[in-house]
Amino acid sequence: SDVHAMSRQQLAVQRARKSFQTGKTKPLESRIHQLRNLLRFVTERRRDIAEAVKKDLSKSEHGTELFETLGVEGEIKLAIEKLAEWAAPRPVEKSLLTISDEVFMHPEPLGVVLIIGAWNYPWAVTLQPLVGAIAAGNAAVIKPSEVCCHSAKVMEELLPQYLDKDLYPVVTGGVPETQELLRQRFDHIFYTGSSAVGKLVMEAAARNLTPVTLELGGKSPCYIDKNCDITVACRRITWGKFVNCGQTCIAPDYVLCDPSIQNRVQEEIKNCIKEFYTDDPKTFEDYGRIINKRHFKRIMALMEGSTVVVGGDSDESQCYIAPTVLKNVTGESKVMKEEIFGPLLPIITVSGVDEAIQFINEREKPLVIYVFSNDNKLIKRVIAETSSGALLANDCLVHFTVSSLPFGGVGNSGMGCYHGRYGFDQLSHMRSCLIKQLKMEGVNSMRYPPHTAKKLGW
Ligand code: NAD
């Protein structure tokens, strides 16, 4: 009868914990076995995944492969290949005092991890943290975003056919269900989503002293130096901005550039939009839709007070907003007050890199800063004088795919990081181990009372 009184969320967590406590995730072979099953899921169910994402976000099948499943597959393969190395004891430097001891860090699993995902890349932001959780030997409760209801349903139905059902349950639901989950005790919470909800997650975690990873968003600036190849820069920016209709946490949010290149930037981006999405992006299969009416209305309202110079048209019945470029934007414009998370690209003019740096530093620390320049010194200056989760020069988005770089935010854009080894480390406890011998007692005489001057040699 106890079982009946328990919520679905409570039950899932309890089962995961019991299962974790059997110790079955400790052997590396068992983790590799689960990782291989996850890989099999992603490859065998590629069609189901792509179809769900198409229903959720009107993304093309190849778009989903390119931006979601390929990356997950790469992370799983890397983890399988490197697990023995990652999980091995890590010797640390010795001193005279520890010269004959064993001194090392031993990565150990944390326990039960809660993974809460966002809707914009519904598979990547849930399965990639899961790779780290499995590799590190944890159990994990997976909560996909309810906003992508088709993806959440496929995950709930199909993932348990591949993974250990008790160790890695998928628990679906919206805000009340997530709140019920957050009332449970976890050993780590890995959250991807907005900064506002990130604060609620951290508050809930604090009650149990549960550590958190927060993968949040924000306004990622993009500075274009007037002395760079503006044509190539704008091509890469157009791609990074309008993929997934701008609903990408690392999308360049706004452009900063010198007034003398503003019109050129605007024209180049206009040409690229046409090249990538034709004259009619609305009917073009590689251009998606805004996730729902609420976000559609929010994004449309952000245009108020700015001048539309490219695009601007929309269709509420389809949640369609054309790739749009805005001019006459200032730091005070509506579009600069929150993360856009949609296909609007404001251009703000600044007198040069000094003003760009100042503009950036007056705001919250972004997830990424983009710089386009031929001048390596200028790029290094931006690195030295600003702060952000990452800095990418002369391209967009691709740092996400570099598994040897930690991915994560700082300040308002989040805390903690993952991908590759960093995902493993993030969800492990680095236990300090010191093994001494019961020998050479003579050297310890100094520390035992009485602390006479004679013994200390003073
Ligand atoms: P969302 O609305 O799907 O929310 C994310 C998760 O939080 C969902 O699982 C949802 O159920 C849960 N949630 C929502 N409200 C809650 C509440 N009041 N209490 C408890 N749980 C709640 O997604 P979103 O927040 O709109 O996602 C978009 C944001 O995510 C953007 O800011 C984007 O930049 C950011 N993002 C960041 C990354 C990253 O890796 N840093 C990746 C993708 C998205």
Residue nearest to atom 14 of ligand 1 (CA): 175
* Percent of all residues in the chain with a pLDDT value above 90, rounded to a whole number: 92
Polymer length in residues for the chain: 458
Residue nearest to atom 41 of ligand 1 (CA): 215
pLDDT tens per residue across span 65-122: 888 999 999 999 999 999 999 999 999 999 998 999 999 999 999 999 999 999 999 9
Name every residue whose Cβ is closer than 8 Å to that of residue 266 and which is 6 or more positions away in sequence: 309, 310, 325, 327, 347
Region for 221 from its dihedrals, namely left if φ exceeds 0, alpha if ψ lies in -120 to 50, beta otherwise: beta
Residues framing ligand 1 (Cβ under 6 A): 116-120, 125, 143, 145-147, 174-175, 178-179, 192-194, 197, 200, 215-217, 249, 339, 341, 367, 409, 414
Looking at the CA of residue 174, tell me the nearest atom of ligand 1.
11
Q: For the chain, how far is it from start to end, CA to CA, in angstroms?
A: 71
Q: Are strands 212-215 and 188-192 parallel, antiparallel or unpaired?
A: parallel
CA-to-CA separations, 140 to 116, 137, 347, in angstroms, rounded: 10, 10, 42
Q: Best mutation site among 9, 114, 115, 120 for ligand 1, i.e. most ligand atoms within 8 A of its Cβ?
A: 120
Q: Best mutation site among 9, 115, 119, 243 for ligand 1, i.e. most ligand atoms within 8 A of its Cβ?
A: 119
Token couple for 151: 């993806």
Rounded Cα distance, 454 and 201, in Å: 58
Token couple for 145: 């975003």
Least confident interval from 58-67, 258-267, 331-340, 347-356:
58-67
Token couple for 249: 């946490």
Report the chain's mean pLDDT, rounded to a whole number. 96
pLDDT tens per residue across span 122-150: 999 999 999 999 999 999 999 999 999 99
Rounded Cα distance, 422 and 408, in Å: 10
Model pLDDT, residue 4: 61
Residue nearest to atom 27 of ligand 1 (CA): 193
Rounded Cα distance, 236 and 197, in Å: 31
Model pLDDT, residue 3: 55
Query: In 3D, which of 233, 251, 230 has the Cα closest to residue 242?
Result: 251
Q: Give the Å distance between the CA of 198 and the centre of ligand 1.
A: 8
Model pLDDT, residue 2: 54
DSSP-derived letter for residue 123 is T
Asked if the model's pLDDT at residue 313 lies above 60, the reply is yes
Q: Give the Å distance between the CA of 138 and the centre of ligand 1.
A: 23
Which amino acid does the sequence have at 386?
T
Token couple for 261: 């290149």
Query: In 3D, which of 366, 324, 319 has the Cα closest to residue 345?
Result: 324
Residue 190 near residue 114, CB atoms below 8 Å: yes
* Percent of all residues in the chain with a pLDDT value above 70, rounded to a whole number: 99
Q: Best mutation site among 194, 203, 214, 341 for ligand 1, i.e. most ligand atoms within 8 A of its Cβ?
A: 194
Model pLDDT, residue 453: 84
Residue 42 near residue 127, CB atoms below 8 Å: yes
Least confident interval from 64-68, 114-118, 271-275, 432-436:
64-68
Residue nearest to atom 28 of ligand 1 (CA): 193
pLDDT tens per residue across span 249-269: 999 999 999 999 999 999 999
Residue nearest to atom 3 of ligand 1 (CA): 118
Rounded Cα distance, 64 and 70, in Å: 8
Q: Give the Å distance between the CA of 272 and the centre of ligand 1.
A: 30
Rounded Cα distance, 148 and 150, in Å: 6
Residue 120 near residue 409, CB atoms below 8 Å: no
Asked if the model's pLDDT at residue 422 lies above 50, the reply is yes
If you compute the radius of gyration of the chain from its CA atoms, what whole number of angstroms results?
25
Looking at the CA of residue 414, tell me the nearest atom of ligand 1.
41
Average pLDDT estimate for 304-327? 97
Model pLDDT, residue 426: 98
Q: Give the position of tokens 């010191």.
A: 434
Token couple for 142: 């997976």
- Kindly provide the residue ranges of all beta strands, DSSP E only, lying in 183-243, ordered along the sequence: 188-192, 212-215, 220-224
DSSP-derived letter for residue 407 is B
Model pLDDT, residue 285: 85
Q: Using CB atoms within 10 Å of the CB of residue 308, give its burial: 0 to 12 exposed, 13 to 18 middle, 19+ buried.
A: middle
Q: Using CB atoms within 10 Å of the CB of residue 193, give its burial: 0 to 12 exposed, 13 to 18 middle, 19+ buried.
A: buried
Looking at the CA of residue 146, tell me the nearest atom of ligand 1.
11
Phi and psi at residue 2, to the nearest 5°: -55, -40
Asked if the model's pLDDT at residue 277 lies above 70, the reply is yes
DSSP-derived letter for residue 419 is S
Rounded Cα distance, 158 and 167, in Å: 15
CA-to-CA separations, 248 to 82, 173, 207, 239, in angstroms, rounded: 29, 22, 31, 11
Query: In 3D, which of 131, 140, 154, 136 has the Cα closest to residue 64?
Result: 154
Task: Give the pLDDT band of residue 444 (cuts 50, 70, 90).
Answer: confident
Q: Give the Å distance between the CA of 68 and the centre of ligand 1.
A: 17
Q: Using CB atoms within 10 Å of the CB of residue 112, give its burial: 0 to 12 exposed, 13 to 18 middle, 19+ buried.
A: buried
Looking at the CA of residue 409, tell me the nearest atom of ligand 1.
41
Q: Listing from the earlier edge strand, what are the strands of the sheet with 307-310?
A: 307-310, 324-327, 344-349, 252-257, 220-224, 368-372, 390-393
Residue 159 near residue 41, CB atoms below 8 Å: yes
Q: How many helices (H) and strands (E) does the chain have?
A: 17, 17
Task: Give the pLDDT band of residue 5 (cuts 50, 70, 90).
Answer: confident
CA-to-CA separations, 198 to 249, 299, 311, 427, in angstroms, rounded: 14, 21, 33, 18
Q: Which residues are part of the catalytic machinery?
A: 215, 249
pLDDT tens per residue across span 167-185: 999 999 999 999 999 999 9
Model pLDDT, residue 1: 43
Model pLDDT, residue 204: 98
